[in-house]
Chain A
Amino acid sequence: MSAYLVRRLFLMAVTLVGMSMLIFVMLRLVPGNITDIIFDSAGFVNPAQKKKIERQLGLDQPIITQYVRWIGGLAHGDLGYAYVSEKPAIDEILPRIPVTAKLAGLALAFSVLFGVPLGVMSAVRQNTTLDYVLRILSLSGLSLPSFWLGLLILMAFVHFLGWIPIYKATPESPWKELALLSIPAAAVGFRSSALVMRLTRSSMLEVLRQDYIRTARAKGASETSVNYEHALRNAVLPVVTIIGIEAAFLIGGLIVTETVFNIPGVARFLVEAIRWRDYPIVQNLVMFIAIIVVFVNFLVDLMYVVLDPRIKYDS
């Protein structure tokens, strides 16, 4: 196990270092940086002034020097300065994380809460009307763009209640905040719950065909016991895998949903920073996302060992 852990951690480090190089080069490959944006919108170009700003921001250095400076800073928590706000990047990023984290947590809870039971129901009643309805529902969940779902929710609010949920950075009470966040969370979670449901259904179907399920039925176990105690326990392993996939999936949903609902989180901030070519923010946020995805996948692999004693990583 420890040999596996060491190998795995090494590969994670390789992946993240590779990602940092990829994102760094990708952001600088194209002509045009923040100074071009500033000066283009100003309408005139004073080359001397432009050079001065480029020097201040370190953009005149060779790309390798810039990269080393960034990574060196990362090592002791210095993420550089945001170009747009001119504040330390870390002060821009950190305060925006809690909202997004709460939103992601709620969305994940939503997707598991609806996805798993509905997936089980769909599998147990395979090829019935209920199954068809649920399958169409889950497939439509995967087909609706999450930003459109968000807009539809907003529209329903306007139409039926006459007001729009606006997220405030300082909510009056935790309950109010929860209620406000649960609306966009549902928009993100609907898509993920569709994914969870589909995977739960297929892995349940797989398990329900096994011999031991027939044995359980033969010895007189009740349907509920067969479905939930015998089958679901073994079907849950592939479902855990999706949490890994879903980390990536959720982030995509968060980006557009935060934009629709105007929530001041990191996901929306990433889009703004990309538009402004605010390199320090973009590269640090992208690294942050990559770290989360890689780490979640690592946790999922470890969870396998806990959930399924047959799996050992030693061999």
Chain B
Amino acid sequence: MAVIDHDAELARAGANVRGWMGGIFFFVRRYPLGAVGAVLMTIFVATALFADQISAFDPFTTNARISLAPPGGEHLLGADFMGRDVFARIVYGARISLAVGVGATAVGCIIGVLIGLMSGFFGGWCDLIVQRLMDIMQSLPLLVMALVMAASLGPSLTNTIIAIAIPLVPNVARIIRSNTLSLREMPFVEAARAIGMSETRIAIVHVLPNTLAPLIVLATAQLGSAILVESALAFLGLGVPEPHPSWGRMLSESAAEYVRTAPWLVIFPGVAISAVVFGTNLFGDAIRDILDPRQRL
């Protein structure tokens, strides 16, 4: 009786028998830069989640005696003017960045998908109005739109998320719409219609899942810019208010004056922002290469 080695047969047929460990190994070998990005993002998320465990100091406690203490010693990255530990503030600042970045991207994507799907699938006057609305919103740069919205909504965490999410909507809506337009003409949509599915159900069950790949690509790219815009808003004094430790505001507090006297207050928060955004950009590039191989940058 012949013995069949199933694993060998599967491997010969080209099936994926690597398992998840092998999958990770393959990703690291094929996309080394993407892997670096994934590591940076993991560190970022872990820092935000376990801020309490990582930092020995409280980010809000002020201590006049260590005002503007240089890095080294007990306070690893020094202390700011109010005598707050810079390392603790950076660690806790990761929470704000993560909350605003993920929150704004998620809200922006959900609204964008709904609008894009509706305007692409149903077309007609709804499409026309939505397109003009997107034109209007896109006639302002992301930062300007976010600035005006943040100022008119007032400073709070939720409002900052909204102020960044809304300007992200047009990009998402445009991409989802153009994908929907071509998906609408696909045979499987026609088949679904032929067996009597309702239009709304077709849109949700058949069209929506097929826009997922471009959506993931777009969302990773948006995550980076959401984090950058958050830091710029905070830097300009219109972001998340005190006492939340936001990386951008740490720079505005220290900005011009401390360039001369306390450079560590300027360097470390900037390194944190750049590393996180760099990570999401690297990871986003790899994701795009995997999900959308036609469009390589």
Contacts and interface: CB of A to CB of B under 8 A. Distances in A.
A240 interface: no
Given A30-B154, A275-B238, A145 B144 contact: no
Contact of A248 (B133, B142, B147): B142
B260 interface: yes
B28 interface: no
B104 interface: no
Given A29-B152, A201-B297, A251-B141, A145 B248 contact: yes
A139 B278 contact: yes
A143 B263 contact: no
Nearest to A253: B143
Interface string A65-107: 0000000000000000000000000000000000000000000
A225 interface: no
25 contacts: A14-B135, A15-B136, A19-B140, A26-B148, A26-B152, A136-B33, A139-B285, A140-B278, A142-B277, A143-B274, A145-B274, A147-B235, A148-B270, A152-B267, A201-B297, A202-B296, A205-B296, A251-B141, A251-B143, A251-B144, A260-B255, A270-B144, A271-B236, A275-B237, A286-B144
Interface residues of A, number: 55
B259 A154 contact: yes
A289 B232 contact: no
A9 interface: no
B171 to A, nearest CB: 11
Contacts of A151: 251, 255-256, 259, 266, 270
A294 B139 CA distance: 6
**Chain B binding surface, main DSSP class:** helix
Given A140-B278, A151-B255, A251-B141, A274 B148 contact: yes
A11 interface: yes
Contacts of B278: 139-140, 143
B132 interface: yes
Interface of B: 33, 132-133, 135-137, 139-144, 147-149, 151-154, 224, 228, 231-232, 235-238, 248, 251, 255-256, 259-260, 263, 266-267, 270, 273-274, 277-278, 281-282, 285, 295-297
Given A15-B132, A143-B278, 17 more contacts: A11-B132, A15-B139, A18-B135, A19-B136, A19-B139, A27-B148, A135-B33, A144-B270, A145-B277, A148-B274, A151-B251, A151-B266, A164-B259, A198-B297, A251-B141, A256-B143, A286-B144
A40 to B, nearest CB: 13
A199 B295 CA distance: 11
A14 B285 contact: no
A164 B296 CA distance: 42
A238 to B, nearest CB: 11
B270 A30 contact: no
A290 B140 contact: yes
A147 B236 CA distance: 10
Interface string A1-41: 00000000001001110110011001101100000000000
A262 B256 contact: yes
A158 interface: yes
A274 B238 contact: yes
A142 B281 contact: yes
Contact of A145 (B132, B147, B235): B235
B146 to A, nearest CB: 9
Contact of A158 (B224, B255, B259, B267): B259
Nearest to B295: A202
Interface string A149-160: 001101100110
A289 B140 contact: yes
Q: Quick one: which of B232, B237, B274 has the most chain A CB within 10 A?
A: B232
A19 B248 CA distance: 29
A255 interface: yes
Contacts of B236: 255-256, 259, 271
Nearest to A149: B270
- The 10 A-B pairs of least Cβ separation, nearest first, read A252-B143, A148-B270, A143-B278, A248-B141, A18-B136, A143-B277, A202-B297, A290-B139, A274-B151, A15-B135
B141 to A, nearest CB: 4
Contacts of A186: none
A173 to B, nearest CB: 26
Given A290-B140, A293-B141, A294-B139, A148 B251 contact: yes
Contacts of B281: 139, 142-143
Contact of B153 (A30, A252, A294): A30
A249 interface: yes
